């Protein structure tokens, strides 16, 4: 373990020289900014590639040292700072592992950025759909037997793309066995571990995909570690995914003007988790348990604990998660997401020196629950999509852009091939993908989300109740 933060130190040392700016960015070390003072103070460190500050795309100094410390902390052969979020890491992994026209096995409940990567890279996806988890009320992880069936059916697959953990903090129980099996077949395993950057702290957190042998792993440091938004890590190990290809595509896909503030926060986040001690862990777990016990004492509030101790789900009887989220926000408590059943909280990864107002939070949650119970019950009773365990798009992704499309009422979408992605967000997992047919259960789920005023991303006109599909003569 090391307390060193080479990039943070380089920025501080540079700023202390009172540099005069005749370079970008145009705010000139914050002098010209009209932002509030609290914002402007950070701009004094918002530098560019200057002497002594290194270059993200060709690192040789502070950034190089910081990334080497990152790889050492996570046990990777090579690690990279990402300033465009885990999205750019997912893109780079797919590009590095596959060529246009290759077959890629991909977990069906992956993040939308994974499906964007498939389309951009021109690969042919084979979707592996997990079953429904009746405890977490969310899609489960893949099982080893499902992966074996897919590999046997598509032996030419160039890679397997997985999500671990899921948004709700449920870990993939067969992940180690899946990685071992794929390696026996010479298939690299790429893992979107956006919500698992803190797993390196060890038990009781689940094992990281990197520790279990995955070939390339992306982590959103900004989700669970103290990094700025858009700050992520990408780790590579083994010989099945070439680091040189990862570097090549990151240079193409990431900004040529990377934020030094984001990179410095990544350097700091690495130091934070690397120095997360056992006393820190004990202190966090004690505070967490006291908080959970306090929440469980609230009448008619159910607390579900997923595999990741940093996540909690709150449920109120036959009332929807959207109702609870709205009442929590009225009490100035802002949850990560709501779905038809529950609200998801991401707890702070506290150290011994930190405090959090858990007693006040419990009081506000109690008031929010009381308000929800006075509302009409709105449990959505959302249908669970009946997806085949293994499937391919009804229309190849590479041909979709050449087809004519039309807008139709979603109520008339049964059997039609979607031309666009429709994504309830969060969690950002597509309800329907380009090239897939609209089924009755998917349309029912869409109707449920619309009735609950949930946020829906994607190319749609749902405020007009319209969806985009392939033209009538093509979609039948």
pLDDT tens profile 156-172: 999 999 999 999 999 99
Strand partners, 407: 468
Residue 429 has pLDDT above 80, yes or no: no
Of 44-58, 271-285, 438-452, the least confident: 438-452
Rg (CA), the chain: 23
pLDDT at 458: 79
Average pLDDT over residues 321-327: 94
Distances (CA, A) of 180 to 105, 130, 147, 148, 203: 16, 19, 11, 11, 22
Share of residues in the chain with pLDDT > 90 (%):
79
Is-contact 396 435, C-beta < 8 A?
yes
- Rounded Cα distance between 7 and 408, Å, is 53
For residue 471, the tally of other CB atoms under 10 A from its CB is 15
pLDDT at 381: 56
Average pLDDT over residues 56-83: 98
pLDDT at 47: 96
Nearest-10 Cα torsion for 179, 79, 223, 427: -40
Instruction: Map residue 321 onto helix, strand or coil.
Output: helix
pLDDT at 399: 81
Is-contact 457 428, C-beta < 8 A?
yes
The band of 428, judged by pLDDT with boundaries at 50, 70 and 90, is low
pLDDT at 454: 76
Distances (CA, A) of 261 to 9, 15, 129: 12, 13, 39
DSSP code of residue 114 = H
Of 69-83, 236-250, 302-316, 446-460, the least confident: 446-460
Q: What is the mean pLDDT of the chain?
A: 93
pLDDT at 438: 94
Count of all residues that appear for the chain in the document: 476
pLDDT at 475: 44
pLDDT at 147: 97
Q: Going from the N-terminus, what domains does the chain have, and what CATH number goes with each?
A: 6-275 (3.40.640.10), 278-373 (3.90.1150.150), 393-470 (3.90.100.10)
pLDDT at 248: 97
pLDDT at 164: 96
Distances (CA, A) of 357 to 287, 315, 400, 440, 454: 11, 21, 51, 45, 29
The band of 383, judged by pLDDT with boundaries at 50, 70 and 90, is low
Output the pTM of the full model. Answer: 0.93
């Amino acid at each position: 373990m090391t307390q060193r933060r080479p990039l943070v130190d380089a920025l501080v040392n540079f700023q202390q020289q009172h540099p005069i700016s005749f370079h970008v960015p145009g705010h000139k070390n914050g002098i010209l900014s009209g932002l509030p003072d609290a914002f402007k103070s950070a701009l004094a460190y918002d530098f560019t590639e200057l002497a002594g500050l290194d270059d993200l795309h060709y690192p040789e100094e502070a950034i190089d040292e910081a990334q080497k410390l990152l790889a050492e902390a996570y046990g990777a052969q090579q690690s990279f700072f990402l300033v465009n979020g885990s999205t750019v890491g997912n893109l780079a992994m797919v590009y590095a592992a596959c060529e246009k026209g290759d077959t890629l096995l991909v977990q069906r409940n992956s993040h939308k950025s994974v499906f964007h990567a498939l389309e951009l890279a021109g690969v042919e996806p084979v979707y592996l759909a997990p079953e429904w988890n009746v405890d977490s009320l969310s899609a489960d992880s893949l099982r080893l037997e499902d992966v074996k069936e897919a590999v046997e059916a598509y032996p030419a697959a160039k890679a397997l793309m997985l999500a671990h953990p899921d948004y709700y903090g449920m870990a993939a129980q067969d992940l180690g066995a899946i990685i071992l099996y794929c390696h026996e077949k010479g298939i690299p395993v790429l893992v979107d571990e956006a919500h698992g950057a803190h797993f390196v702290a060890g038990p009781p957190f689940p094992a990281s995909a990197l520790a279990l042998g995955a070939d390339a792993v992306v982590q959103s440091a900004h989700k669970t570690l103290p990094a700025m938004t858009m700050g992520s890590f990408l780790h590579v190990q083994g010989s099945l995914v070439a680091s040189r290809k990862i570097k090549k595509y990151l240079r193409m896909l990431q900004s040529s003007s990377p934020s030094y503030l984001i990179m410095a926060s990544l350097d700091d986040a690495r130091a934070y988790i690397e120095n997360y001690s056992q006393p820190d862990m004990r202190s966090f777990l004690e505070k967490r348990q006291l908080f959970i016990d306090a929440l469980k004492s609230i009448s008619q509030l159910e607390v579900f604990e997923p595999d990741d101790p940093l996540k909690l789900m709150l449920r109120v009887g036959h009332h929807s998660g959207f109702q609870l989220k709205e009442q929590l926000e009225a009490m100035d408590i802002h949850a990560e997401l709501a779905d038809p059943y529950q609200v998801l909280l991401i707890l702070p990864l506290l150290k011994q020196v930190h405090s959090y107002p858990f007693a006040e939070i419990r009081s506000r949650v109690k008031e929010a629950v009381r308000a929800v119970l006075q509302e009409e019950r709105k449990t959505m009773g959302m249908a669970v999509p009946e997806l085949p365990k293994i499937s391919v798009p009804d229309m190849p992704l590479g041909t979709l852009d050449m087809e004519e499309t039309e807008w139709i009422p979603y109520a008339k979408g049964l059997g039609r091939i979607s031309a666009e992605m429709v994504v309830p967000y969060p969690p950002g997992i597509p309800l329907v993908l380009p090239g897939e047919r609209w089924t009755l259960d998917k349309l029912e789920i869409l109707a449920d989300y619309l009735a609950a005023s949930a946020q829906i991303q994607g190319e749609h006109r749902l405020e007009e109740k319209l969806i985009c599909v392939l033209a009538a003569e093509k979609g039948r």
